[in-house]
Structure 1
Amino acid sequence: MMIACEECGLVVNIPDLAQGDKATCPRCGYTLIKAVSLPFQRPAAYGIACLLMLVLSLSFPFLSFSVNGMEHQITLLNATEALQHFENSLLAILLMVTVIVFPTAYVMLVLYLYYHAHKVKKVGHIFHAHVWLKFLCRILFTIQPWLMVDVFLIGVLVSLVKISALAHIGLGNSFWAFCLYSVLVVKCVSLVDRTWLWDQFFSMKPIDGVRAGDTHLDHNHVGCHVCNQLNPLPTSHKAQCLRCDSQLHAFNANHSLQYSWAYLLASIVFYIPANLYPMMYTVSLGKSEGSTILGGVVLLWKMGSWPIAVVIFIASIFIPMAKMFTLAWLYFCAGKHADDSSHIAIKRLKLYRLTEFIGRWSMVDIFVVAILVALVQLQNVMAISPGPAALCFATVVIFTMISAMSFDPRIFWAPKNNICKRDSELDASESNSEVPSVHK
């Protein structure tokens, strides 16, 4: 089967892969498809273990906070309830969706789809409703970038260190179950490959006029971003993929850049109040005091918690600013008139991948606020409530993630003067583009 690389547009011919192998693009190194060992058993085993650990995480006390003989105990769900109590419904929904709802839905979809994929392999044909399976596969990979169980766990650990000097912190049984749950979810996600899973249900449909070594600049096909099926150029705005029925979008560099710039500028606007207003308010003996992001870092540093201060500074200040500056630079380079070489394009592509990967970790500070608000509630003796900056900062993280997702990295290989076709063909011939790199 032939697949068009999502990140450089090169069409490559994928050979049959043995279990444990993966095929990467010969031009940019992007992973095109991977066939994990024991492809049906391992995802099912990890998925079942995930659900079991989730039930245990929700069934017992999560954390406890005690000072001067007063104690407050919370469960995992109390974090969302506390945010709701302080009229921060949007943050409560964000926490619930990214930590519990989406991960649970993802794992259950993996179990369901891999079960039916195993039945298809035995029977040899699709015996279930095509439309329903296509819909579930699309849902599975749509919610995958928004799973933040691992980020929430780091937020919990940061919260514990942040208040450990003020009171005694108890770790409940659900805390240890949630640690295992986080690790299992990350492992389960790593075992799921989009191209491989789609191919278990619906084989690639061949199209005429496309050969290995072509790119999106040849204008003889459109690669589906949902299932990687190669399609003829759409003749209308409502054209659908031959395999998954998703709406097709022809390559449009200007359209992609406009959306990416719009989301990035929106995140910059929200980043200003996120740093000016308090992230949370602390009440101690009846006295309320606001704390900004930078103020919290300085306080941790003065208290001697240097590692946590560094973590908060990197996750909440350095990463968001670095991501916004990096994305702005990448968008500028992608939009200017230049005849950049393939080597420069690869360097920019690697920087884009790194920026997209680390962007979600800025949500650590939001989860820290959620845990502290739920845990530290001892009336006027000591209590913490969310500040207006929390919602603004969450909006910054979401907009920067959407901005990176909206960007089409194939723009790096398509300068506006459209003269990189020569470089594409050269790279294809030098890299033996008809066969991708296969690794164990």
Structure 2
Amino acid sequence: MTTKLMISCEECGLVITVPELHDGQKAHCPRCEHMLTQNIARPNQRAIAYASACLIMLLLSISFPFMSFSYQGLTQEITLLNAAQMLDQYQNSLLAILLLTTVIILPALYMSLMLYLYFMAARNKPSDNIKESHIKHLCKLLFIIEPWLMVDVFLIGVLVSLIKISSLADVALGYSFFTFCIYAVLVVKCVSLADKSWLWGQFIPAKTLPSNSNHNSNNNDTNNKAISIHHSDNYLSCHVCHQINPVTTENKALCSRCDSPLHHFDMEANLQKVWALLITAMIFYIPANLYPMMYTVSLGTSSPSTIMEGVILLWKLGSYPVAAIIFIASVFIPLVKMFALTWLFISAKKVRNPSDKDTIQKLKIYRITEFIGRWSMIDVFVVAILVALVQLQSLMAIYPGPAALSFAVVVIFTMLSAMLFDSRMLWHQSPTLIRKTNDKRDNTQ
């Protein structure tokens, strides 16, 4: 008899018993529609094939010329690594590390981990204690670095920079540019193949919750209903492996499956963290827009350019799509995300009894803000490409401005604020909805 998988929804806290899934099927939360897990056809073969191809494309992308820039008989050719080198050369080491890490190092590490883990899963051999501990660390690392893969964002930044300078001089694409395009597509595909619940289940099956986890209950039916909400104080859900753990009296409880620290549902503590990160992003947003994003040197004359000045210049030159992309990614999205997160944080603490539609609507807004945050990094990557490519001494050159680092801080801290926000708080003040959901679950069982 197979044990059914029980998962606590990360976004609303509802505990769901997931039935056996067939190839291609996905399990969604019945309350908030968040995808819980999926069953991918031939997961080991597909993950190994895509990850291997991705590493090959990455190697080719850094081995050949990426693109070249020609102006009045002078030519500048760069490789993918030159973008990081040039930023470091002009006293922007942090931006160079950010570019190198999110576009090359972390994706390479991610693909290597996928290759190893899925290869081990394909062998289907039990592991000893040492190997099990080793697997735990690797699985944790795989999903920790996943949100910070920005290869697709960098590709859009490259395309924007190409359109931005194509009117100034001749730009030629190297072999590595085309392999990088394939590499970016493969990274996105590999991320879609990595399923947290499935991968953990291949090495360390989920442990069933003891029937006496609720000390105030005397029967299984009461227990099942009691663990159906995240603030019932009788279980803790692990965000790393989805294991449901009974509450213990220990100050630092660890997950019984992956040994990760467990955290009680603490609205005040969580809001303090996310507010601190969001306020930091708001502070850095001011210099990011007031100071120059880059300096353009033409015939010995240097002219600074802020984000909005760059958008206005592109609009005057007739590059309307590029101006719109830069404005949306660098001005509109950060502002909207900060306002949306502010509204969500205030709404999470406000005492109310929201309707089903009202709570789900807030959750959709949260999902959108979490998804779009990373795309604001486009402007930083545009500056990195232009700084590396346009270096023709006093004839024409582009240098990074102080706003580039401030803007990168804005993007990173808004991402962290959205990632650390416990969206289950949006359901915390909804007892009527929780009761209706429990009744619905009881009627369907």
What's the TM-score, normalizing by structure 1?
Answer: 0.95
Taking the aligned partners of 2:381 and 2:398, their CA distance within structure 1 comes to: 14
Q: Is the 8 A contact 1:61 1:74 kept in 2?
A: yes
Cα root mean square deviation, aligned: 1.3
Taking the aligned partners of 1:157 and 1:172, their CA distance within structure 2 comes to: 14
The match for 2:434 is 424
Taking the aligned partners of 1:106 and 1:218, their CA distance within structure 2 comes to: 36
The match for 2:188 is 186
Q: Is the 8 A contact 1:257 1:331 kept in 2?
A: yes
| 1:357 and 2:371 correspond | yes
The match for 1:257 is 271
Following superposition of structure 1 onto structure 2, how do residues 408-419 of structure 1 map, counting pairs within 5 Å?
408-415=422-429
The match for 2:402 is 388
| CA deviations over 1:308-365 (Å, ceiling 9, x no partner) | 0000000000000000000001111111121222321111001100110000000000
| 1:205 and 2:207 correspond | yes
Identify which of 357, 360, 370 aligns with 1:346: 360
- How many residues were matched structurally? 428
* Secondary structure, aligned partner of 1:40: helix
Q: Is the 8 A contact 1:40 1:118 kept in 2?
A: yes
Alignment CA distance shift 1:84-1:236 (3 Å): same
The match for 1:287 is 301
| CA deviations over 1:371-406 (Å, ceiling 9, x no partner) | 000000000000000000000000000000000011
Alignment CA distance shift 1:434-1:12 (3 Å): farther
Following superposition of structure 1 onto structure 2, how do residues 2-401 of structure 1 map, counting pairs within 5 Å?
2-120=6-124, 123=125, 125-127=126-128, 129-208=131-210, 209=213, 210-211=223-224, 214-401=228-415
Q: Is the 8 A contact 2:153 2:377 kept in 1?
A: yes
Q: Is the 8 A contact 2:54 2:186 kept in 1?
A: yes
Percent sequence identity over aligned pairs: 56
Residue type matched to 2:84 in 1? T
Alignment CA distance shift 1:67-1:402 (3 Å): same
Residue type matched to 1:10 in 2? L
Distance apart, 1:235 and its partner CA: 1.8
* Secondary structure, aligned partner of 2:167: coil
Taking the aligned partners of 1:224 and 1:251, their CA distance within structure 2 comes to: 11
Taking the aligned partners of 1:29 and 1:378, their CA distance within structure 2 comes to: 54
Residue type matched to 1:173 in 2? Y
Residue type matched to 2:187 in 1? V
Taking the aligned partners of 1:197 and 1:434, their CA distance within structure 2 comes to: 29
Distance apart, 1:214 and its partner CA: 1.2
Q: Is the 8 A contact 1:27 1:431 kept in 2?
A: no
* Secondary structure, aligned partner of 2:201: helix
Gaps of 5+ in 1: 436-440
Gaps of 5+ in 2: 214-222
**Which stretch has the larger CA shift, 366-375 or 333-342?**
333-342
Taking the aligned partners of 1:237 and 1:392, their CA distance within structure 2 comes to: 38
Q: Is the 8 A contact 1:27 1:433 kept in 2?
A: no
Distance apart, 1:172 and its partner CA: 0.0
Distance apart, 1:425 and its partner CA: 2.4
Alignment CA distance shift 1:351-1:162 (3 Å): same
Taking the aligned partners of 2:271 and 2:401, their CA distance within structure 1 comes to: 34
Taking the aligned partners of 1:237 and 1:151, their CA distance within structure 2 comes to: 41
Alignment CA distance shift 1:432-1:304 (3 Å): farther
**Which stretch has the larger CA shift, 362-371 or 217-226?**
217-226
Taking the aligned partners of 1:126 and 1:28, their CA distance within structure 2 comes to: 37
What's the TM-score, normalizing by structure 2?
Answer: 0.94
